[in-house]
Each structure stands twice: as structure tokens, then as C-alpha cells.
């Protein structure tokens, strides 16, 4: 069994309050969860209205499948016009770790 995670550091566009931030971040989190069947949460920059960190995790039998799912998630986030993807950090944990 393999577990893979990715954390996205995001710069939000025209956002001036935490309420507007939630209106941008919540649909992204929900769509990642629904479309890719992964665990997702907002994981950082919780009190900053123009920044967000979103963590995604997936569990699979093969490491390659984990990578494919995270690739799809990263493309989905990078293609969102209302945000800028500043960085994406991955980690893979396998049976030997």
C-alpha cells in the first residue's frame, strides 16, 4: 500500500476578506474531493485572506496510481483562473518506509 500527499501553496486573486477566501477555496476543495476521490483539506494560511494551502492525500496499491491521481489534481488546481499556484510539494510513503 502506498500513501501520497501533495500540498498546494496558492495565491488568491481578487479576495479582500476571509469570507471571500472561503468562497474561492471551498469549491476547489469540494471539486477535488468529488472528481478525484481523494482526501482534501485547507491546511495553511488560515488567517491570511490572499493565501491558502490545500493538502490532498490518496491511498493506492501502486505508487504509479498515486502519482497519476496527484498529477491530475495538480493540473486541476493549476488551471483555475482565479488562483495562482505558487508551489506544490509531494510526498510518497510506501511499504518500506
Residue 77: strand, helix, or coil: helix
pLDDT of residue 97: 82
Q: How many domains are there within the chain? A: 1
CATH for 42? 3.30.70.1120
Residue 1: its pLDDT value, please? 94
Question: pLDDT in tens for each of the 97 residues of the chain?
Answer: 999 999 999 999 889 999 999 999 999 999 999 999 999 999 999 999 999 999 999 999 999 999 999 999 999 999 999 999 999 999 999 998 8
Domain that holds residue 78: 2-93
Amino acid at each position: 500500500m502506498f500513501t501520497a500527499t501533495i500540498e498546494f501553496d496558492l495565491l488568491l486573486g481578487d479576495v479582500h476578506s476571509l469570507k471571500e477566501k472561503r468562497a474561492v477555496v471551498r469549491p476547489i476543495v469540494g471539486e477535488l474531493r468529488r472528481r478525484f476521490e481523494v482526501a482534501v483539506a485547507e491546511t495553511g494560511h488560515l488567517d491570511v485572506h490572499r493565501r491558502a494551502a490545500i493538502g490532498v492525500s490518496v491511498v493506492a496499491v501502486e505508487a504509479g496510481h498515486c502519482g497519476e491521481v496527484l498529477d491530475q489534481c495538480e493540473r486541476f488546481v493549476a488551471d483555475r483562473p482565479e488562483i495562482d499556484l505558487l508551489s506544490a510539494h509531494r510526498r510518497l510513503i510506501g511499504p518500506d518506509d
